[in-house]
Amino acid sequence: MLKRLISKFIDQAPGPGPMTYEQARAVLESHAHKARKFLAGRSDVEPEILYYLATDDAVEVRRLVAANPATPQQANKILTDDRDGDVRCELARKIGRLVPGLDPQEASRVRDLAIEVMERLARDSLPRVRAILSEEIKSSAKVPAHIVKQLAQDLELIVCAPVLEYSPLLSDQDLIEIIAGARVEGSLSALAQRSTLSVPVADAVVASLDVSAIAALLANPNAQIREETLDRVLESATAIEAWHQPVVMRADLSLRAVRRVAAFVSASLLSVLCQRSGLDDETAAHLNKRVRERLDEGALNDEVSAAEAKAQAAVKEAAAKGTLNEEFLMEAADANDRRLVAFALASLANVSKEIVDRILVSKSGKAITALVWRAKLSMRVSVKIQAAIVHLPGPKMVMAREGVHFPLSEEELAWHLNYFGIAN
C-alpha cells in the first residue's frame, strides 16, 4: 500500500487536487528524501506536516518549507533561526510578500506571529537576508513602520537603500533624523532619489555636505529645493563637477541661478543652458558671452582630451599584448595615474569609463570592490585603488577577508554594481 502511495503521489507527479492528511502522512512516513521534498513544496498538506518538516535534516526540504505560503507561522518562527542562510533568505522573501497582504481582520495571533517573524528577519545576522526583506517591503504601506525604520537605519547599504528610496512609511522627521545620523556611504544618495522630497528634507541633504547625495538631489525633478538652499549648493559647485549636469538640468532654476551656473560649467552644458525656454534678453546675452569665453579655453580642453586619449591607447595596447592584468593595474595605481586605472577597469569589467568615474567619485569602498570583482581581479587591487587612487581613510576602507578573500557575498557585490547601473 505504502509503495503504491509513493508511486502515486511522487513518481506520477499528481495534479493540484487536495491531498488528504492520511495520504500525506503515509508519504511522509516513508522517510524518502524525494517524498519529503515533494510534501514540503505543496500548499495543500496539513499544517502539522509542514511544521514537522521545518526541522528536517535536509536543507533542501527546509528551503521549500520556508518558501511555502501555506507553512504555519509557528514553523516560520522556527525557521528564523535556521542555520542555513538560504533558508532564511527564502523565508524573508515569502514573509515580505505575505505580511502586506494579511487581512486586518486576520486572527490576531496569526498576524502577531507573522510580524514577529518579520522582526526577527529584520535583525538577521546575514545582510542579504535583511536586504531581501527590505526589497520586498520597500513600497508597502501595510507593514509595521518600526520595522521599516529599523531597516532604514541598517549599517549595510543593500539593506537600508531600498526603504530609504521608496518606503511611504518614513515621515519627513524620520528622514531628517536618518540624515543627521547617517553612517552608511551611499545611504543619503538613495534617500535623495525618493519620488517626493519635501523642502525640509532637501535642506537636510544639502546640510549633510554629502557630494553624491547632493548630486542625486539635484538630479531629482521631484525634490523641492528652496532658492536659498540652491544658492548654498552653487557656492561650492565650481569645484564639484558631479553637480554640474544635474544642476543645469533642473527646470526650476531662476534666471539669477542660470547666470551663476554659467560661470563654471563646461561649454557643452552652457549650450544646454542657452536652449532653456523663458530666458530674458539680458540672460541670453550673458550666456552667449560665456560660450565665447569657453571657446577661447579650448586649448586647455584639448590638453585634457589628449591625456584621456593617451591613457585609453595605453590600455588598448596592453590588452592587445595580453598584459592588461592585475600587475598593470597595480603599477598604474602606484603611479597615481587615475585615468589609466579608470580606463583599465572599464576595459576589464566591460563597462563605460563614465560609470567607473562615478564609482571612484562616490568614494565607496564596497562599490570599488564590486567593480574589481567584476573585472576578475583580486582583492589586493581593490585595497590598492581605495588607498592610492581614491585616498580613503583607513576606517572607511573595505579590507580583504583573511588577507586575500573578497569580504562581501556575490549577491552583495552584484547589488553594488546594479546600484551604478551595471547589470550582471
The sign of the dihedral angle between the CA atoms of 63, 68, 72, 73 is positive
Distance CA 240, CA 232 (A): 13
pLDDT for 361 equals 84
Mean pLDDT to the nearest integer, 148-156 = 96
Distance CA 243, CA 361 (A): 12
Distance CA 91, CA 69 (A): 9
Helices (H), 244-325: 244-248, 255-261, 267-274, 281-296, 298-321
pLDDT for 104 equals 66
Distance CA 10, CA 20 (A): 14
> How high is the mean pLDDT of the chain?
87
| Range ranked top by mean pLDDT from 269-273, 372-376, 399-403 | 372-376
Beta bridge partners of 197: 223
Contact, 60 vs 68, CB < 8 A? no
The pLDDT tens digits of the residues spanning 312-350 come to 899 999 999 999 999 999 999 999 898 899 999 999 999
Mean pLDDT to the nearest integer, 182-191 = 91
pTM: 0.70
Q: Which residue has the cell 490576531?
A: 108
pLDDT for 246 equals 93
C-alpha cell at 66: 520556508
- How long is the chain? 424
pLDDT for 405 equals 92
Q: What angle do CA 323, 329, 334 make, to 5 degrees?
A: 130
Distance CA 202, CA 196 (A): 10
pLDDT at 10 over 70: no
pLDDT for 4 equals 44
For residue 407, how many other CB atoms are within 10 A of its CB?
Answer: 16
pLDDT for 56 equals 92
pLDDT at 12 over 70: no
**pLDDT tier at 238 (50, 70, 90 boundaries)?**
confident
pLDDT at 61 over 90: yes
Contact, 395 vs 380, CB < 8 A? no
Distance CA 368, CA 390 (A): 9
C-alpha cell at 237: 559647485
| Range ranked top by mean pLDDT from 25-34, 40-49, 199-208 | 199-208
**pLDDT tier at 296 (50, 70, 90 boundaries)?**
low
CA distance readout (Å), 45 to 3, 38, 161, 387: 19, 10, 38, 57
Contact, 24 vs 44, CB < 8 A? no
Rg (CA), the chain: 27
Name the amino acid, one letter, at 166. Y
The pLDDT tens digits of the residues spanning 85-138 come to 999 999 999 999 998 888 766 657 888 899 999 999 999 999 999 999 999 999
Q: Which residue has the cell 590600455?
A: 315
Closest by CA to 372, choosing from 403, 338, 341, 332, is 341
**pLDDT tier at 402 (50, 70, 90 boundaries)?**
confident
Name the amino acid, one letter, at 251. A
Q: What are phi and psi of 389, to 5 degrees?
A: -100, -45
Please return the burial class of 20, using the count of CB atoms within 10 Å of its CB with bins 0-12, 13-18 and 19+.
exposed
The pLDDT tens digits of the residues spanning 350-379 come to 999 989 988 988 888 999 999 999 999 999
Give residue 341's Cα distance to chain centre. 24
pLDDT for 247 equals 93
Give residue 133's Cα distance to chain centre. 13
* Better-scored residue on pLDDT, 259 or 18: 259
pLDDT at 310 over 60: yes
Distance CA 159, CA 129 (A): 9
For residue 292, how many other CB atoms are within 10 A of its CB?
Answer: 10
Task: Report which DSSP code applies to 142.
Answer: S
Closest by CA to 368, choosing from 312, 331, 403, 329, is 329
